[in-house]
Amino acid sequence: MEMHPNELFFYYIPTHSIDKQARAYARSISRHVHEINIEKEKITSTGWKLILDMLNLRAKDILNKSHPEYQSMIAGKTWDEEGWLNILVKHPYLIKAPIAIKQHKAVLCTTPTEILKLN
């Protein structure tokens, strides 16, 4: 992923309140924010792998384990890395927080101010 030094990529779900708050912080630290609504824009398994590598996390680490669909479809089952990536591709709304990327650094914004770590 080639980026301009001031570009910030913000992967989010517009209806979630924490995402809205983090989005406002994103705009405060960069004039060049690329907003990616993960409910509308499909991210490939390769794209998710790149994001996870930058976060230094596994797919299951960024999923909301309290979400009813996680509980009914995913919990208690064993998945390999490809399986977890496919879950993210098919059910991106299960991520627990927005993700911000700037200058090859990424942060999972579990609180809106987490994004300030990229500044």
Structure tokens at 5: 């030094």
| 95 and 45 Cβ atoms separated by less than 8 Å | no
- Whether 2 is covered by a domain: the verdict is no
| 109 and 29 Cβ atoms separated by less than 8 Å | no
Please state, in angstroms and rounded to a whole number, the distance separating the CA atoms of residues 119 and 108. 14
| 94 and 67 Cβ atoms separated by less than 8 Å | yes
- Whether 1 is covered by a domain: the verdict is no
| Count of domains forming the chain | 1
- Whether 101 is covered by a domain: the verdict is yes
- Whether 73 is covered by a domain: the verdict is yes
Please give the chain's pLDDT, 119 residues, in tens: 555 667 999 999 999 999 999 999 999 999 899 999 999 999 999 999 999 999 999 999 999 999 999 999 999 999 999 999 999 999 999 999 999 999 889 999 999 999 999 98
pLDDT for the residue numbered 91:
95
pTM, whole model, 2 decimals? Answer: 0.92
- Complete DSSP assignment for 63-97: B-TTSHHHHHHTTT----HHHHHHHHHH-GGGBSS
Give me the CATH number covering residue 18: 3.40.30.10
Domain membership of residue 88 as a residue range? 7-118
pLDDT for the residue numbered 119:
84
| 101 and 8 Cβ atoms separated by less than 8 Å | yes
- Whether 98 is covered by a domain: the verdict is yes
